């Protein structure tokens, strides 16, 4: 069976920074692995200090699992990972598990350890795929989320540099483990670290039409062609099925992007690309900016000078859907560059369409929006040599 064949198992893809007290996510991993007594293999493969795996093992065991640390890690001082992935005892230990968890760190360490030098699977990777195909769970946080795609960021530079200079195979990007299949790209720490720009670049370069940007302390649970958002924040769905660029412009540019922000309990259907709202959202306020009786909650027009900053994008989407503002502009550039010459930046334009909708609830204890079908374009711009001058006293 090939890697792109439909496995019977589930994925729990975590955007990073998973808190110890996020019982919903930890518990879901254990439940999908078989419930109380479930054996889960924890791979600290991506970690720069793989000896410290107690955090993950303890969090899973608190939910009733029997988690064990598997010493397969590039930075492991005591066990050679190149031998460990062929070790019959370790292979048998993992084969007895019904769940696998990849910790965070450097995702290139995971592929370095689990792919053979020839490029094929090591026996350990075959066992992990076997667990997944037979109905088990593959979970991962941060680096463990990045490897879910067939193509992943390897050593990405600054996000703005990705947008300026693109990505190249074997350098910024490389082969992932591909558990989610070839049709979806996955990025992590997404909203907190402002990663929309870099995801659009890799999706355009590789040819992905669909992508998930998963925020921190949040998971996307993929099971039976359905993906559910659980945890603290949300997931951005990036749809490039109708996106296009202008080949006359040498710099990165893209138009016709469609974005939807899903919150806790919302679901995305992988085959049909349809979205199902959680009942708690359906019981809340529906926001239809095309309704002639629309009464927005937010006022004023906002401009966003730094789309790459902490959690700017989710604020932008919420304000745009729940205000009279029809179009929002955001910039991506480096205002601290030591180069005083005019520099390359990017202008993001977001706008509402006829199918744009929002849903709001306060029942989750925080301000919570679901935003559907916001459209976007990215174009290169030339920034002025001097952004501002300080006022001087008379």
CB 342 within 8 A of CB 385: yes
Q: What angle do CA 162, 110, 146 make, to 5 degrees?
A: 45
pLDDT in tens, 376-392: 999 999 988 777 788 99
Calpha distance 194→212 (Å, rounded) = 14
Residue 170 pLDDT more than 70? Answer: yes
pLDDT in tens, 210-240: 999 999 999 999 999 999 999 999 999 999 9
Domains of the chain with bracketed CATH? 10-257+269-274 (3.40.50.880), 279-382 (no CATH)
H runs (alpha helix) in the chain:
23-32, 54-62, 81-84, 88-95, 107-114, 123-133, 143-146, 159-165, 196-206, 279-282, 312-321
Predicted model pTM: 0.96
Q: What is the mean pLDDT of residues 310-315?
A: 95
Calpha distance 130→194 (Å, rounded) = 35
How high is the pLDDT of residue 1?
32
Residues 6+ apart with CB under 8 A from 68: 39, 40, 41, 42, 57, 93, 97
Residue 4 pLDDT more than 50? Answer: no
Residue 318 binned pLDDT confidence (cut-offs 50, 70, 90):
very high
Task: Say which residue, 339 or 39, is predicted with more confidence.
Answer: 39
CA-based radius of gyration for the chain: 22
Q: Which residue is it, tokens 């910790």?
A: 103
Residue 340 pLDDT more than 60? Answer: no
Task: Say which residue, 336 or 261, is predicted with more confidence.
Answer: 261
How high is the pLDDT of residue 59?
97
pLDDT in tens, 69-82: 999 999 998 899 99
* CA-based max dimension of the chain: 79
């Amino acid at each position: 069976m090939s890697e792109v064949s439909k496995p019977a198992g589930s994925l729990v893809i975590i955007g990073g920074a998973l808190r110890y007290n996020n019982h919903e996510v930890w518990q879901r991993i254990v439940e999908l692995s078989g419930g109380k007594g479930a054996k889960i293999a924890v791979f600290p493969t991506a970690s720069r200090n793989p000896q410290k795996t107690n955090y993950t093992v303890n969090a899973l065991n608190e939910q009733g699992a029997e988690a064990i640390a598997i010493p397969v890690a590039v930075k492991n001082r005591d066990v050679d990972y190149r031998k460990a992935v062929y070790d019959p005892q370790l292979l048998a230990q993992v084969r007895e598990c019904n769940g696998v968890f990849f910790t965070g760190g450097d995702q290139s360490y995971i592929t370095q350890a689990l792919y053979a030098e020839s490029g094929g699977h090591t026996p350990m990777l075959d066992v992990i795929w076997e667990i997944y195909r037979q109905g088990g769970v593959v979970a991962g946080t941060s680096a463990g989320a990045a490897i879910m795609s067939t193509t992943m960021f390897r050593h990405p530079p600054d996000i703005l540099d990705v947008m300026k200079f693109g990505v190249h195979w074997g350098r910024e990007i490389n082969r992932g483990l591909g558990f989610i299949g070839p049709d979806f790209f996955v990025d992590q720490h997404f909203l907190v670290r402002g990663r929309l720009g870099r995801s659009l670049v890799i999706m355009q370069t590789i040819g992905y039409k669909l992508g998930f940007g998963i925020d921190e302390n949040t998971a996307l649970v993929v099971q039976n062609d359905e993906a559910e958002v659980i945890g603290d924040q949300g997931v951005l769905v990036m749809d490039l099925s109708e996106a296009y660029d202008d080949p006359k412009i040498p710099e990165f540019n893209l138009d016709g992007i469609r974005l939807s922000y899903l919150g806790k309990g919302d679901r995305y259907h992988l085959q049909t690309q349809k979205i199902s709202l959680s009942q708690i959202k359906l019981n809340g306020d529906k926001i239809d900016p095309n309704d002639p009786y629309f009464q927005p909650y937010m006022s004023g027009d906002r401009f966003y000078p730094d789309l790459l900053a902490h959690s700017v994008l989710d604020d932008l989407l919420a304000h745009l859907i729940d205000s009279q503002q029809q179009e929002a502009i955001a910039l991506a550039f480096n205002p601290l560059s030591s180069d005083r010459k005019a520099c390359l930046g990017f202008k993001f334009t977001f706008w509402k369409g006829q199918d744009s909708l929002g849903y709001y609830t306060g029942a989750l204890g925080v301000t919570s929006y679901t935003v559907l079908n916001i459209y976007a374009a990215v174009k290169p711009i030339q920034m002025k040599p001097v952004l501002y001058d300080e006022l001087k006293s008379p």
